[in-house]
Amino acid sequence: MRADRLVATVLLLQARGRVTAAELARELEVSLATARRDLEALSTAGVPVYPQAGRGGGWSLVGGARTDLTGLSAREAQALFLIVGPAASVSDEARTALRKLVRALPQTFRADAEAAATATMSDPTRWGERDRDRPVVVDLLQTAVVRRQKVRITYVDAARRPSERVVDPWGLVDKDETWYLVAGTNKGQRTFRVDRIRTAEPTGEQAERPDDFALAGAWRDVVGEVEQRRSRTEATVLVDTRFVHVLQDQFGRHCEPDGEHEDGRARVRLGAPTALDIARTLAGWGTGVEVLEPSAVRSELARIGAELSARYRS
């Protein structure tokens, strides 16, 4: 919309001091003619915008005039980008909007805003467990990521063994309402479930982060490793085509349609850590799902069926 472009134009002039029509066109992704018309429209409307011809020229706000259209303080800008950042990791539109917002901010706000935008990301695909409560420590960790401060944490592992360590916080990921901290340690990059962090305290020391670190890429690697462990066993099953979406809901990314069987049912490949994990999920389907292979899954289903039959026969 033109009103949005005019606001963005004023903010860019405010942030940079001077821009050419060509730079404005490139920033706002419009034609050169449109950028010139917008600048002239602002001048005609009474906004103190004026052109300067010649080498090094461009359009400026008279006397460095500023606008309060955003009304944002430095802390408010940082809070806004903490909110928008996760959406930008899964939406092209949000990513484009975020880029434009950064360019429109005053120079003094940009560094913290960009750091806040990349401090967290969102991954909506479930891994089974869900944690509905946002851990209180998330806010502290977000601040540490943005300010690049080392944090001393007390962490409880899967075996419920506590340990204390100092980490360099690199980024946070909200995966279906379960938070993860990606951090540097003396043993390299590590990922911590935030709900297992019992205490966290900034040390005041400057954290180190690789210059080429990108949270989205690091998280893709983490997901790849976890998913590989979670899909060590694969099974091929047949199910009525109408119910493929139910299997997809149960197995997530480890459910892949594989064409149609000769009897009209859908052929589907499923993955899980063990044959027992697949059998436990499919047991509730009864004869609604037929397992073609492997025999290990068929055997587990037969065993589960026999146990249920023995217990509830009476």
Boundary residue ending a domain (208, 228, 248): 228
Reading the block at residue 7, the tokens are: 């606001």
Q: How many domains does the chain have?
A: 4
Residue 55 φ/ψ, nearest 5 degrees: -65, 130
> Could you tell me if residue 208 is inside a domain?
yes
Reading the block at residue 112, the tokens are: 């913290």
Residues 204 and 174 in one domain: yes
> Could you tell me if residue 69 is inside a domain?
no
Residues 276 and 289 in one domain: yes
pLDDT of residue 68: 42
Residues 141 and 222 in one domain: yes
pLDDT of residue 88: 58
pLDDT of residue 183: 95
> Could you tell me if residue 261 is inside a domain?
yes
Residues 302 and 264 in one domain: yes
Reading the block at residue 59, the tokens are: 């359009």
pLDDT in tens, the chain (314 residues): 455 677 678 777 777 778 888 888 888 888 888 888 888 877 776 677 778 776 667 888 765 544 443 555 556 556 555 655 665 565 566 666 666 666 666 666 667 766 766 666 666 566 655 545 677 898 899 889 988 999 999 999 888 899 999 999 999 988 867 899 999 999 899 999 999 999 999 999 999 999 888 888 888 888 888 777 766 789 999 999 999 999 998 888 889 999 999 999 999 999 888 899 999 999 999 999 999 999 999 999 999 999 999 998 87
> Could you tell me if residue 131 is inside a domain?
no
Residues 10 and 55 in one domain: yes
Residues 85 and 59 in one domain: no
> Could you tell me if residue 159 is inside a domain?
yes
Residues 181 and 258 in one domain: no
**How many residues are present in the chain?**
314
Residues 166 and 212 in one domain: yes
pLDDT of residue 58: 84
pLDDT of residue 259: 92
Boundary residue ending a domain (179, 206, 228): 228
> Could you tell me if residue 123 is inside a domain?
no
Exposed/middle/buried for residue 271 (C-beta within 10 Å: 0-12, 13-18, 19+):
buried
pTM above 0.75, yes or no: no
Residues 107 and 163 in one domain: no
CA distances from 178 to 42, 85, 119, 300, 307 (A): 47, 17, 16, 31, 35
Residues 23 and 91 in one domain: no
Residues 199 and 277 in one domain: no
Which residues constitute the domain of residue 208? 137-228
pLDDT of residue 69: 38
Q: What is the CATH number of the domain that holds 257?
A: 3.30.70
Residues 224 and 236 in one domain: no
> Could you tell me if residue 194 is inside a domain?
yes
> Could you tell me if residue 124 is inside a domain?
no
Boundary residue ending a domain (175, 208, 228): 228
- Three-state helix/strand/coil letters over the chain: CHHHHHHHHHHHHHHHCEECHHHHHHHHCCCHHHHHHHHHHHHHCCCCEEEECCCCCEEEEHHHCCCCCCCCCHHHHHHHHHHHHHHHCCCHHHHHHHHHHHHHCCHHHHHHHHHHHCCEEEECCCECECCCCCCCHHHHHHHHHHHCEEEEEEEECCCCCEEEEEEEEEEEEEECCEEEEEEEECCEEEEEEHHHEEEEEEEEEECCCCCCCCHHHHHHHHHHHHHHHHCCEEEEEEECHHHHHHHHHHHHHHEEEEEECCCCCEEEEEEECCHHHHHHHHHHHHHHEEEEECHHHHHHHHHHHHHHHHHHCC
